Chain A
Amino acid sequence: MSNDALDDMLEFHWIIDMLQTVDVGIVVLDREFKIKMWNGFMESHSGKLPSEVRDQSLFSLFPDINRDWFAQKAKPVFELKTRAFMLWEQRPYLFKFSNYRPITSSEQFMYQNIILAPLVSATGKVDNISMMIYDMTDIASGKKQLEALQVTQSEAQERGSRGS
């Protein structure tokens, strides 16, 4: 093997290692929503091994995910090469994972922001899409607290003005 090829392979190795260990969920899906990649974050949080999920349909593994809704979301990603988003404010989670800090955090599950992005193949077509899952729990719980505080404050104000 030439030196260049060896370097390329070593580089490929650490890039894969990085995808595997990054603290963001990475899933690659094909047009039939079969899973092509399932990184370490997904493995740890779901308890499902990459070998268990490979080439399985996302919907058979997670029956809670509505197929029609998800396909609708993903359609422009395949067809128009745009990105699609799911935000925790509208939909707290797609995968029901438990919170990262089960003992000292007050939330029951992981709030998630999800981005679907096209993966353009060598032929210029989109055969696969990537799904990135971000843990938003800390931000969500902070925001919920702030809102709760604002409500109590405005209630107190109202009581005060009524009393005077």
Chain B
Amino acid sequence: MFSVLICDDSLVARKQVAKCLPQDWEVAIHFAKHGGEAIEALKAGKGQVLLLDLNMPEMDGYQTLEAIGQLGLKTSVIVVSGDVQPEAHERVKKLGALEFIRKPVNAEELLAVLSKHGLIDGPEEAPETEFSPLDPDIRDCYQEITNIAMGRAGDHLARTLNVFVHLPIPNVNLIEVSELHMLLSDIDNHERVSAVCQGFVGPGVQGEALCILSDSSLEDVAKILNITGEVDDQKQLELLMDAASILIGTCLSGIAEQLDISFAQGQPVVLGQHRNITEIIATNKLKWKRTLAIEISYGLEGYQTVCELLLLFTESSMETLNYKLAHLLEDF
């Protein structure tokens, strides 16, 4: 079977790209979190087409393209990136990429590119999923305040927990309800990950923070938080809550401080523990269409633990947020 490899460090972005592949295209879809994994997969013959992000930890898109060239791996590369600088465009083409698609991908554009390069037979009618993308200036601004907030959060964590925190570049995206549902059902299917969500609300701004941790990392978390003794199921949940509160709390207060607002936080809830996730999805289907998602993956030096933090802001919050950001921009 024809195979497609999607390489992106963001879980949401991987899902989003996968969703945009033509519906009736019979392909095996594989995923990679960074260039290294992509190269391994390509060597194993998983990826006649590679959809590649540029900004990734460990091995970024440019390095991956170089490695593909050096190793002489046979694959058609389409770069999918939020980096819209013309220079990036030029560089990836020189390195052997066929095409450059801007994030967020839409199905129509992807189909056009795939058929242009003969990777799929003739164009079929494309679904209309287009919506206005996020203004790049505003996106940069969100990214920047998250960066600053994370820098502070990282500093606090490093001081109190004695660990070095790797701070990645946050991903800022507008995501549609269906994409989040996919992400949530994925958590549901994977018994080995748990998610804690916590609502927050400030004047005119409302959202939820979602902290996703793999169960295997709970041992590391116990070590970091200095928990001794046996960690049973009850204790595990408590640990998960503690870790999530620390991450969510530090990041949110950093953002709130910069926007000069304060957030009230609700009680954290372990997703899917009391209620089936598919049921949650079914009942709130019509409530909202899309949300602003800021995605951060934390890594800790010396530990395998990776933790995903998703800050979701409702669409109605964006007016206030953009207004606050415009103020920040004026100050510079």
Contacts and interface: CB of A to CB of B under 8 A. Distances in A.
A103 B207 contact: yes
Given A23-B264, A45-B264, A106-B280, A100 B201 contact: yes
A126 B274 CA distance: 44
Given A98-B206, A99-B199, A102-B208, 15 more contacts: A23-B265, A44-B202, A45-B201, A45-B264, A101-B198, A101-B208, A101-B269, A102-B287, A103-B180, A103-B207, A104-B280, A104-B284, A105-B280, A108-B287, A135-B266
Given A23-B266, A45-B264, A101 B197 contact: yes
Nearest to A20: B262
A100 B207 CA distance: 8
B314 A102 contact: yes
A21 B263 CA distance: 10
A47 B287 contact: no
A84 to B, nearest CB: 25
A48 B284 CA distance: 27
B10 interface: no
Contacts of A98: 201, 206
A16 to B, nearest CB: 15
Contacts of A47: 203-204
For the side of the interface on A, what is the size category?
20 to 34
Most buried by A among B264, B265, B274: B264
Interface of A: 21, 23, 40-41, 43-49, 98-106, 108, 135, 138, 142, 145
A102 B269 contact: no
For the side of the interface on B, what is the size category?
20 to 34
A95 to B, nearest CB: 13
A46 B203 CA distance: 7
Nearest to B203: A47
B297 interface: no
B271 interface: yes
B288 interface: yes
B160 interface: no
Interface of B: 180, 184, 197-199, 201-204, 206-208, 210, 262-267, 269, 271, 274-275, 280, 283-284, 287-288, 291, 312, 314
Nearest to B268: A101
Contact of A40 (B208, B264, B266, B283): B264
Nearest to B263: A44
Contacts of B267: 23
A162 B332 CA distance: 75
B266 A101 contact: yes
Nearest to B291: A103
Given A44-B201, A100-B201, A101-B199, A106 B264 contact: no
7 contacts: A41-B264, A44-B263, A45-B201, A102-B287, A103-B208, A104-B271, A145-B275
A145 B288 CA distance: 21
Contact of A106 (B206, B207, B266, B283): B283
Contacts of A99: 199
Most buried by B among A49, A102, A142: A102
A40 B197 CA distance: 21
Nearest to B206: A102
Nearest to A99: B199
Nearest to B277: A104
A44 B203 contact: yes
Contacts of B201: 44-45, 98, 100
Contacts of B280: 104-106
A153 B207 CA distance: 35
A88 to B, nearest CB: 16
B264 A102 contact: no
B264 A44 contact: yes
A41 B265 CA distance: 9
B285 to A, nearest CB: 9
A21 B287 CA distance: 29
Contacts of B314: 102-103
Nearest to B282: A106
Contacts of B275: 145
Contacts of B283: 106
A104 B280 CA distance: 7
B60 to A, nearest CB: 31
Most buried by B among A98, A103, A138: A103
A145 B282 CA distance: 13
A21 B202 CA distance: 12
